[in-house]
A and B are shown apart, each in its own frame.
Chain A
Amino acid sequence: MAEQLLLFMPGLLLGTLLAGLLGALGVMLRVREEALAAFSLAQVAVLGGMLAALAGVPQLLGAWSSAVLLALLAVWWLKPVGLIGPSQHLWILLLAWGAGLLLADNHPQARLLSSSAIEGQLLLLSWERLPAYLLLALLSAALLALLLRRWLATQLLPWRHSTPSVLLAGLRELTVVGLLAVGALSMGIFVTLALVVIPAWLVWSRAASLGSALWLSALYALLMHLLAFSLALWLDQVYSALLVVLLGVSAVALALCWQISRRAAG
Chain B
Amino acid sequence: MTRAVLLETRALQIGSAHALCAPLDLSLAAGELLLVSGDNGVGKSTLLRTLAGEQAPLAGQLLTHGSPRIRHLPQHAGQQLSGPFSVADLLRLNGQGDLQHPWVPAQRRQRVDRLSGGQRQRLLLAMLLSQPGDLLLLDEPGQYLDQPSQAQLQDWLAEPTAALGMAAVVMVSHDQLHFSRAQRLHLQGLADG
Residues of A within 8 A of B (CB): 27, 30-31, 149, 152-153, 156-159, 161-163, 203-213
- If A158-B74, A158-B77, A162-B72 touch, whether A209 touches B93 (CB-CB below 8 Å) is no
CB pairs A–B below 8 angstroms (21 shown): A30-B83, A153-B94, A156-B90, A156-B93, A157-B94, A159-B71, A159-B128, A163-B53, A203-B84, A205-B84, A208-B84, A208-B109, A208-B111, A209-B85, A209-B86, A209-B88, A209-B109, A209-B111, A211-B89, A212-B84, A213-B83
Q: CB-CB < 8 A to B80: which residues of A? A: 158
Bound complex: CA of A96 vs CA of B4, how far in Å?
53
Closest CB in chain A relative to B96 CB, distance in Å: 10
Further pairs besides A31-B83, A149-B93, A209-B88: 9, Cβ < 8 Å: A30-B83, A149-B92, A156-B81, A156-B90, A159-B71, A162-B72, A206-B84, A209-B86, A210-B86
Q: Which residue of B lies closest to A216 (CB)?
A: B84
Interface flag for B124 (CB, 8 Å): yes
Q: Which residue of A lies closest to B124 (CB)?
A: A158
Closest CB in chain A relative to B140 CB, distance in Å: 13
Cβ–Cβ contact A204 & B84, under 8 A: yes
Work out how many contacts link A and B, with CB atoms closer than 8 A.
Answer: 63
Residues of B within 8 A of A (CB): 52-54, 70-74, 77, 80-81, 83-86, 88-90, 92-94, 109, 111, 124, 127-128, 133
Cβ–Cβ contact B72 & A159, under 8 A: yes
Q: Which residue of B lies closest to A154 (CB)?
A: B93
- If A153-B93, A157-B94 touch, whether A210 touches B54 (CB-CB below 8 Å) is no
Q: Which residue of B lies closest to A203 (CB)?
A: B84
- If A158-B72, A162-B70 touch, whether A152 touches B93 (CB-CB below 8 Å) is yes
Interface of A is mostly: helix
Q: Which residue of A lies closest to B86 (CB)?
A: A209
Cβ–Cβ contact A158 & B73, under 8 A: yes
Q: CB-CB < 8 A to B127: which residues of A? A: 157
Nearest 3 CB-CB pairings of A with B: A213-B84, A207-B84, A159-B71
Q: Which residue of B lies closest to A149 (CB)?
A: B93
Bound complex: CA of A159 vs CA of B54, how far in Å?
11
Partner of B89, one of A30, A162, A210: A210
Cβ–Cβ contact A162 & B90, under 8 A: no
Q: CB-CB < 8 A to B128: which residues of A? A: 159
